[in-house]
Structure 1
């Protein structure tokens, strides 16, 4: 049964908006070529979208010819403003963008564990409000939040998790109260990192892959056939609880100590480095301490340092990276044996710091442990992937609403 005229118009409008979002400003002639629609149909949709305030003339095509140049149309970026938050145990980062994703303002702030729930929430909300003001936004349309812990798949809310600050859960409610017109979306930080790597990072050529998050803690995100998998309770990828050899015990339902976290968490990596005599810097550094340790070890092995005892340190760093790869391969090979993803991304700050040097070592061990061909890649975005994924989520949600087919 053919679509009604109103449905056909709505479909055409959405197609044109998606093309403008993906490719930037276009002329009516370019829209005609890309959509395959007739010239009168394109003229009608341009008029409708202009009247709706979704697109506007942003310039002229640069063709040198007699007569007027063709008008260039683009999405009205200021039609909606978005915010993205990366909520960590030790602080919050915020960015505010326009509808097409251009960042207008950003800031980060540490939040101490002894601040108390109320003051911590107020500090985080005040940061969001300050960044919104700096961006020149009157209000927010959608807010995307990345946080550690489980997200209830039914309610979309952050579940109470042992070991995580109480202010995390309170922050979501506070933002919704202070920003009543905004839609607030919460997602697990590792899932958002995987979304960012899939759209803008090292997994852009993969429909199926697993991202192994290596930051302060550990986690995994599973993308199968292009779709993020969350599981029945939202817990897909809680790899920190995976029982593994080489630890002093077993994890429990409320504590991942004794699981993979005990081999691959930031504290475990730092202790491993100390056992090889590698220097460990000030733990007050803003990035996970392990990321700095791993980055320096890679530099030592590559010969990119000028330490007096560089050769001795390089040998220790080489052994450290080998042992760390042994540890990471235990978790990666377990995931590979179950899911056969074909690709494992070493994400987070630690994965990015390890680069190709660490990824190649992990890949070699996984291939020796599993008959399933698997490539291992270092993150292209590191810890910034969470904010990027939160922004992509907010932008997609806002555009889905604003670009939704409607009867005009």
Structure 2
């Protein structure tokens, strides 16, 4: 059944708006070329979208020719304002953007463990209101929230989760009450980070990958055939509960201690660094574990070597076959064959110390950490065969290509399934980026939606 004229117009309008969003300002001639529509049809839709306030003239085409230059049309970015929140156990970060996703204002506030539920919610909501005012947003159209914990796939609500502050769940309802008319969307933080890495980060070229989140805690997000997979209860990727060797017990239904979290959570990484004598100052709001991993990478490969001399070219993975003094082994005998060079792996190779002196404390720490991470990654690879694993979060970003190459070398020994391990391109900022992308997509879908037939 052919579309009615009104539906056809709405579909054409939506196509033009999507092109303007993706390509930036375009002339009517460029819209004609990209859409395949006739010149009169394009002229009609441009007039219609301009009258509706969706697009406006933003300049002229650069080509000089006889007569006036062609007008450039762009989306009216301030037609709607969006907010994105990254809700952590220790605080909240927020950005406010226009309809195109351009950040207009951003801020964060720490929230201590001893802050009551009511005051914590008030601090977070007030932060959103102040940031919106700073951005010049009189009204928010859509708010995207990234939070730890499970999202009920049936309702989209944040479920009760032991160990998370009570104010997390109260915050969603408070925002809906204090921001009348705003659409409030909540999503698991790791899922949002994966969407951001897929759109703008390390997995732009992948339809299948797993993001391993390494921050204060651990988590995973699964993208298969380009789609986020949630599971029957919304718990796909709760890798912190994965039973693994090398811990003192087993996790329970209410506590991930004894699971993979006990090997790869921030506190475990901090203890591992202490055992190997790796130190770094506490700086910023992120996990100290990320500072320690970054200091180890810098000390081993980007700064002064263990003998006081500058690090130089060599095989940075040569020590992978040595027994580390903590953490589970990934299962190796003898030395490694260094992984092939790949884009973004600069700096992975370096001398592990003076000839005959053995690996430095930084190298031993990175090897032990890679051993631990490989246990969780190998389990994911064996079940899902994603072909690519991204080490995300602040720790994954701090480890960079150095840590990713070490984990990949171990997976090559442990699994027959070819798997590329990549460092995050967005790090801890991926959650906010993913929340903003989700809010933008939802707002544009609503604003640009064709009418029901």
What residue in structure 2 maps to residue 123 of structure 1?
123
How many pairs does the alignment contain? Answer: 407
Are 1:278 and 1:317, in contact at CA under 8 Å, matched by a contact in 2?
yes
Deviations 1:29-55 (A, max 9, x none): 000000011100101111111111111
- In 2, distance between residues paired with 1:314 and 1:221? 34
Alignment of 1:358-369 (within 5 A): 358-369=403-414
CA contact (8 A) 1:270 1:280 kept: no
> Counterparts in 2 of 1:302-313, with a 5 A limit?
302-305=301-304
1:301/1:314 contact within 8 Å kept: no
The equivalent of 1:133 in structure 2 is 133
1:52 aligns with 52
Aligned residue for 2:66, secondary structure, equals coil
**RMSD, aligned CA:** 1.6
Displacement of 1:8 in angstroms is 1.5
1:154 Cα shift?
Answer: 1.0
8 Å contact kept, 2:280–2:295: no
- Name the CA distance, whole Å, in 2 between partners of 1:100 and 1:191: 22
C-alpha separation between the residues in 1 aligned to 2:163 and 2:452? 49
2:148 alignment partner in structure 1: 148
After TM superposition, the structure 1 = structure 2 runs for residues 181-260 of structure 1, keeping only pairs within 5 Å, are 181-260=181-260
Instruction: State the partner residue of 1:107.
Output: 107
The whole-number CA distance in structure 1 between the counterparts of 2:302 and 2:86 is 35
Give the TM-score, by structure 1 length: 0.97
Matched residues in 2 for 1:189 and 1:345: separation? 15
Offset of residue 303 of structure 1: 4.1
* Between structures 1 and 2, the one with greater helix share: 1
**Aligned CA distance change for structure 1 residues 119 and 59 (closer, same or farther; 3 Å):** same
Question: Quick check: 4-13 or 373-382, which moved more?
Answer: 4-13
Q: Structure 2 unaligned runs (5+)?
A: 310-352
C-alpha distance in 1 between matches for 2:377 and 2:308: 34
Give TM-score scaled by structure 2 length: 0.88
Determine helix, strand or coil for the equivalent of 2:87. strand
Give the distance between the partners of 2:66 and 2:15, measured in 1 at CA.
31
* Distance apart, 1:84 and its partner CA: 0.2
Is 1:95 paired with 2:92? no
The structure-2 alpha-carbon separation of the partners of 1:88 and 1:407, relative to structure 1 and needing over 3 Å to count, comes to: closer
Q: Do 2:300 and 2:306's aligned partners in 1 also have CA atoms closer than 8 Å?
A: no
Contact between 1:86 and 1:93, CA under 8 Å: does it hold in 2?
yes
1:387 aligns with 2:448: no
Q: Could you list the per-position Cα deviations for residues 289-313 of structure 1 after superposition, in whole angstroms to 9, with x for gaps in the alignment? A: 1100000000111041488867689
Q: What do the CA deviations read for 1:254-307 (whole angstroms, capped 9, x no partner)?
A: 00000000000000000001111112433x741111100000000111041488
Could you tell me which residue of structure 1 aligns to residue 376 of structure 2?
331
Task: State how far apart, in whole Å, the 2-side matches of 1:207 and 1:298 are.
Answer: 30
Partner of 1:170 in structure 2? 170
Counterpart selection for 1:321 from 362, 366, 382? 366
Report SS of the residue matched to 2:232: coil
Distance 1:276 1:306, change over 3 A: closer
Gaps of 5+ in 1: none
Cα distance change on mapping 1:125 and 1:103 into 2, 3 Å: same
Corresponding residue for 1:297?
A: 296
Does the Cα contact within 8 Å between 1:10 and 1:407 map onto a contact in 2? Answer: no
- For 1:35, the equivalent position in structure 2 comes to 35
Equivalent position of 1:404 in the other structure:
449
The separation in 2 between residues aligned to 1:281 and 1:372, in whole angstroms, is 39
The 1:136/1:308 distance shift into structure 2, 3 A limit, reads farther
- Cα distance 1:130–1:319, how it changes in 2: closer, same or farther (>3 A)? same
**SS across alignment from 1:258:** coil
